Amino acid sequence: MDRRTYDAYQQCDDPELGPKLRELVTINTVAANDERYARLPLLSNGCAFLADGLCSIQSRLGEAYLSNMCARYPRVMNRVDGVVQRSLDLSCPEAARMVLLDPEPMLFEDDNSAEDDSRGVDPPELRSGEANTPKPYGFYREIRGFVIGLLQYRAFPLWKRVAILASFCDELQRMGEAGQIAQAPKLVGGFQEAVGRDLFGPGLEKTQPHHARQLELAAECILARIKADFTAPRFLACYQELLEGIGWKPESAMGDIARRYGEASRQYYGPFLSGHEFMLEHYLVSYVFRTLFPLGAQQRDAGADRPVRDECFLLLAYYGVVQTLLIGAASFYKSEMGSGQAVRVIQSFVKAFEHSLTFPGQILEILQKAGFDTCIRLALLWRT
């Protein structure tokens, strides 16, 4: 919560909300700045100021009393070379439905007439002229164009597109470490040609699913997230459906669980995916656009930028956990599995995982301990 809002709450004279605001909203002592000056702890059922599903602060005091974060939500803004790029946060149920249910490939529009809805807050920024960095910021547009085009290349199944993206990010990482970022356009061109000629196909097709390892890694990520912070009931319900759907009980043997998981993937998730693969595609494309993947915004703190490989590790981990939860939902709902259940899984996942400020670091630690040193190894793990 920003400092302007905190000060307004301290002076609020509303007889019902004033005392509650002063009691619950506290100064943030960790990484505090004017934009993250204070915080409001979430309760077991969500925000303490929700009343019948609506914000009591806005209804009683007006929109001007909303914090910057609440007022902008679910809009996501980034600035690339001075141009604001807008998208939607899929943790909002309505935004998730709007983005995920359209079977057509996602499109992007230029609108220079859009009103400034940033409330004076500088959004994360990427400057393509940035030098002296192992990331090829100067070729961001070419790189992102290739990444989005690859993810939307429906001639390939999505798992294959994700694997090629992982290989591309490994090469970007290697080039950065070798001081060869000027070769990024050549790398993009080479991958575009290889995709067009399906040169990756023979090698990728040889890989086989490893259901037990998928489950172990996804469950480790999910449990670490649940233990780390408040987790909304909707996500917990999705996790419970996974456990019930594949019969995962404390006394269950991993071999039996993995067998049931594989059967659910083939019998229920496969048929669902054949008609709804665009939903997972939309999630990944949205993530790429919202996070400025694979380079990320330049951090205001020197040396805080994540390497390209780590940016890709996060995307792959999120993709794998979402897929695992979708297989769980399919095993739970069986023939009744539909787009509504998939929207619920993805929306609740984004809210639980992507909103956490600390969990990305935990995921990277989990992957490091698990021995993942390249993105392609992690991507191939998630093949179903």
Report pLDDT digits (tens) over 350-366. 999 998 878 899 999 99
Estimate to the nearest angstrom the gap between the alpha carbon of 351 and the chain centroid: 9
pLDDT at 55 over 80: yes
Mention every residue, 6+ apart, whose C-beta is less than 8 A from residue 91: 74, 347, 350, 351, 354, 355
Confidence of residue 45 (pLDDT cuts 50, 70, 90): low
**What is the C-alpha separation between 156 and 61, in angstroms, rounded?**
52
Residue 114: its pLDDT value, please? 57
Residue 111: its pLDDT value, please? 67
Question: Across residues 196-213, what is the average pLDDT?
Answer: 94
Position with higher pLDDT, 216 vs 111: 216
Yes or no: say if 24 and 42 are a contact pair by the CB < 8 Å rule.
no
Look at residue 301 and give its three-state secondary structure: coil
Q: Point out which residues pair with 147 in neighbouring strands.
A: none
Question: Across residues 332-346, what is the average pLDDT?
Answer: 97
Residue 311: its pLDDT value, please? 96
Residue 284: its pLDDT value, please? 98
Cis peptide bond prior to 105, omega within 30° of 0: no
Which CA distances in Å does 39 have to 4, 18, 384? 13, 16, 41
Length of the chain in terms of residues written: 384
Distance in angstroms between the alpha carbons of the first and the last residue of the chain:
41
pLDDT at 379 over 90: yes
Residue 381: its pLDDT value, please? 97
pLDDT at 281 over 70: yes
pLDDT tens digits for 65-83? 999 888 888 999 999 998 8
Residue 51: its pLDDT value, please? 86
Confidence of residue 211 (pLDDT cuts 50, 70, 90): very high
pLDDT at 303 over 50: no
Position with higher pLDDT, 6 vs 110: 6
Q: What is the mean pLDDT of the chain?
A: 92
Yes or no: say if 282 and 68 are a contact pair by the CB < 8 Å rule.
no
Q: Point out which residues pair with 126 in neighbouring strands.
A: 80
Look at residue 75 and give its three-state secondary structure: strand
pLDDT tens digits for 131-173? 778 899 999 999 999 999 999 999 999 999 999 999 999 999 9
- At 160, list the tokens: 């294959």
Residue 164: its pLDDT value, please? 98
Confidence of residue 121 (pLDDT cuts 50, 70, 90): low
**What is the C-alpha separation between 313 and 307, in angstroms, rounded?**
10
Position with higher pLDDT, 35 vs 371: 371
Yes or no: say if 212 and 254 are a contact pair by the CB < 8 Å rule.
yes
Residue 130: its pLDDT value, please? 73
Best CA proximity match to 210, nearest among 258, 266, 167: 258
- Every domain of the chain and the residues it spans: 3-72, 137-202, 207-381
Yes or no: say if 314 and 288 are a contact pair by the CB < 8 Å rule.
no
pLDDT at 273 over 90: yes
Residue 30: its pLDDT value, please? 72
- The amino acid present at 171, given as its one-letter code, is E
Estimate to the nearest angstrom the gap between the alpha carbon of 282 and the chain centroid: 11
pLDDT at 110 over 80: no
pLDDT at 341 over 50: yes
- At 48, list the tokens: 């303490």
pTM of the model: 0.91
Question: Across residues 268-280, what is the average pLDDT?
Answer: 97
Best CA proximity match to 221, nearest among 87, 307, 320: 320
CB atoms within 10 A of CB 340: 12
- The amino acid present at 117, given as its one-letter code, is D
Yes or no: say if 320 and 218 are a contact pair by the CB < 8 Å rule.
yes
Residue 31: its pLDDT value, please? 62
Name the one residue in this structure whose structure tokens are 């990331």. 135
For residue 86, what is the enclosing H or E element?
A: strand 83-88
Residue 47: its pLDDT value, please? 85
Question: Across residues 32-46, what is the average pLDDT?
Answer: 80
State whether the Cα torsion 146-151-157-160 is positive or negative: positive
Question: Across residues 305-315, what is the average pLDDT?
Answer: 94
Which CA distances in Å does 92 have to 14, 34, 326? 29, 25, 18
Residue 371: its pLDDT value, please? 96
Mention every residue, 6+ apart, whose C-beta is less than 8 A from residue 229: 356, 358, 359
User: Tell me, what DSSP letter sits at residue 307?
Assistant: P
Which backbone phi and psi does 79 adopt, to 5 degrees?
-120, 125
Residue 46: its pLDDT value, please? 74
**What is the C-alpha separation between 212 and 265, in angstroms, rounded?**
13
Position with higher pLDDT, 291 vs 132: 291
pLDDT at 302 over 50: no
- At 52, list the tokens: 């019948």
Which CA distances in Å does 1 have to 67, 96, 136? 6, 24, 33
CB atoms within 10 A of CB 214: 23
